[in-house]
């Protein structure tokens, strides 16, 4: 096959403790999936889930062994962290039931949905899309995937983010308004899901601004913690 330009290499996610890699296709994100975070963002009632996307090349690998340098993005003075459980899919489909959605899960990882909150606020005021706020370069730092055979089904457990050693976000996976299987099932009514898709499942309350030089540690009970340093 002849290409007009050389094709980009596939985006590969790490699998913990293995040379195996996960071929990343699409990054879906659930908005406001924890009640307390929804309230701090101005939502007072439970609503149907809504989704946005990040490009696969927004993925930046984090390590379970050491802090990774992460570049502070341009064109923002209000960068926020959002720690999230990330779900990796080994198979897909359309109009899935929650039971079928469970069978699609290959494993889990810890991710941080980095957000240019100032640009997001401007976009909301103008009813513009969020790409500049959510889908910028390196906006999806994510740790290695851990196989579901090792972790079991994760539907409860502490989720925490520390900034410079102090707890900033703290919640429990059982506080999700739309648990993982229900979120995947709902998403499959909007998109035909594919192997290689991942879903960032929302963040608990406590989101806030971070600066160059800050150290972040993201933890979810049952998974290896990951950390990064803003540079």
Phi, psi dihedral angles at 23 (to 5 degrees): -80, 105
Stated as kind and residue range, the H or E segment containing 122 is: helix 117-125
The answer on pLDDT for 196 being more than 70 is yes
Relative to beta strand 158-163, strand 166-172 is: antiparallel
Query: From CA 162, how far away is CA 24, in angstroms rounded?
Result: 27
The answer on pLDDT for 43 being more than 70 is no
How far does CA 81 lie from the centroid of its chain? 11
185: helix, strand or coil:
helix
Q: What is the pLDDT of residues 60-86, one digit of tens each?
A: 999 999 999 999 999 999 999 999 999
Residue 17 pLDDT grade (very low, low, confident, very high; cuts 50, 70, 90): very high
The answer on pLDDT for 45 being more than 70 is no
pLDDT value for 35: 82
| Sequence-ordered strand ranges (E) for 132-206 | 140-142, 146-147, 158-163, 166-172, 198-200
Q: What is the pLDDT of residues 144-168, one digit of tens each?
A: 999 999 999 999 999 999 999 999 9
Which of 151, 53, 160 has its CA nearest to residue 105?
151
The alpha carbon dihedral of 111, 141, 187, 24 has a sign of: negative
What mean pLDDT comes out for the span 100-122? 98
Query: From CA 40, how far away is CA 44, in angstroms rounded?
Result: 9
User: Is the distance from CB of 137 to CB of 73 less than 8 angstroms?
Assistant: yes
pLDDT value for 1: 86
Domain boundaries along the sequence of the chain: 49-230
What mean pLDDT comes out for the span 94-110? 99
Residue 47 pLDDT grade (very low, low, confident, very high; cuts 50, 70, 90): confident
CATH number of 49-230: 3.90.850.10
Q: What is the pLDDT of residues 198-223, one digit of tens each?
A: 999 999 999 999 999 999 999 999 99
Residue 40 pLDDT grade (very low, low, confident, very high; cuts 50, 70, 90): low
Helix, strand, coil percent content, the chain, rounded in steps of 5: 20, 35, 45
């Amino acid at each position: 096959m002849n290409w007009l330009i050389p094709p980009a290499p596939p985006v590969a996610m790490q699998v913990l403790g293995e040379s195996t890699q996960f071929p990343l296709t699409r990054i879906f994100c659930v908005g406001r999936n924890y009640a307390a975070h929804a309230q701090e963002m101005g939502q007072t009632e439970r609503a149907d889930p809504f989704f946005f996307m990040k490009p696969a090349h927004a993925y930046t690998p984090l390590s379970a062994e050491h802090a990774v340098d992460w570049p502070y993005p341009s064109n923002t003075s209000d960068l926020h962290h959002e720690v999230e459980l990330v779900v990796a899919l080994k198979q897909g489909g359309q109009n899935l039931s929650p039971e079928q959605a469970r069978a699609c899960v290959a494993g889990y990882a810890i991710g941080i949905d980095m957000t240019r909150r100032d640009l997001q606020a401007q976009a909301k005021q103008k009813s513009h899309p969020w790409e500049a706020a959510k889908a910028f370069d390196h906006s999806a730092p994510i740790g290695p995937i851990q196989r579901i055979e090792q972790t079991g089904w994760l539907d409860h457990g502490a989720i925490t983010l520390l900034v410079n050693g102090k707890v900033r976000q703290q919640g429990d996976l059982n506080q999700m308004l739309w648990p993982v299987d229900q979120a995947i099932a709902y998403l499959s009514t909007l998109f035909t899901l594919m192997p290689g898709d991942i879903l960032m499942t929302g963040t608990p309350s406590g989101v806030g601004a971070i600066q160059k030089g800050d150290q972040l540690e993201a933890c979810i009970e049952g998974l290896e913690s990951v950390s990064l340093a803003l540079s």
